[in-house]
Amino acid sequence: MARIDINCDMGESYGNFKIGNDNAIFPYITSCNIACGFHGGDPLNIEKTIQGALAYGVQIGAHPSYPDLAGFGRRKMQIPEEELRALVKYQIVALKGMVESLGGQLQYVKPHGALYNTAAHQPREAMAIIRAVQEVDESIYLMGLAGSPIQKLAAEKQIPFIAEAFADRKYMEDGRLRSRTEIGAVIDSPEEAAQQVADIVLKKEVETYDGSYWPLEAQSICIHGDNPAAVAVLQAIDKRLEQEHITKLAFSHA
């Protein structure tokens, strides 16, 4: 029977800024990527998100980013490798400590935004993240873009890797995500997102922006918590998974 992990970026609210709808999302996911304060999230919101994840039995990942709160971590930054390694390590350790203080366990790390996209294809950024994860805990998984160079690099460095695809993002013909600066980059149609998930899980391919298909094998599929349609998309995905007899299961339990 086919199975898939469904993850979501969460805990991104900070101060007076509310981002996403975490409480409504928890029932539909099996993994959550919790912000570490550098692109979103503050200590109290992070703690509340961890508590929510533990209450719903959702596995927890750290979601480190460039230090870019004003840009929500979606602006590429030029940071020396050693400094970037330390920045990522700092964020992982902070979230890991918060999770453990509440009786939970950090299962994985998934970079956020511009850091995620850059590390997927650039060895310097990828190695900074891989080293940071290894220095904290070699048993922690690294989640990254399925089929991208970081997946091969993680295998070479013997770090457990979770290949990720996206339900609510359009792909280009080369397998990269369509830039958010371009029209049609984000999928807000629940039915279209659900179809994309079904194609990835059952056909191991995804329809690209130009209408062609790109081969894609993934162990986890992401929904962005700041997508206004996130809850409706997740509900549509749930319905489609049931129709296709696909089991929703955290990757660590597979």
**Residue 248: its pLDDT value, please?**
97
Q: pTM here? A: 0.95
Domains in the chain with CATH codes: 3-253 (3.20.20.370)
Structure tokens at 211: 């209408």
**Residue 64: its pLDDT value, please?**
98
Low-confidence spans in the chain with pLDDT less than 70: 254
pLDDT digits (tens, 9 = 90+) for 130-171: 999 999 999 999 999 999 999 999 999 999 999 999 999 999
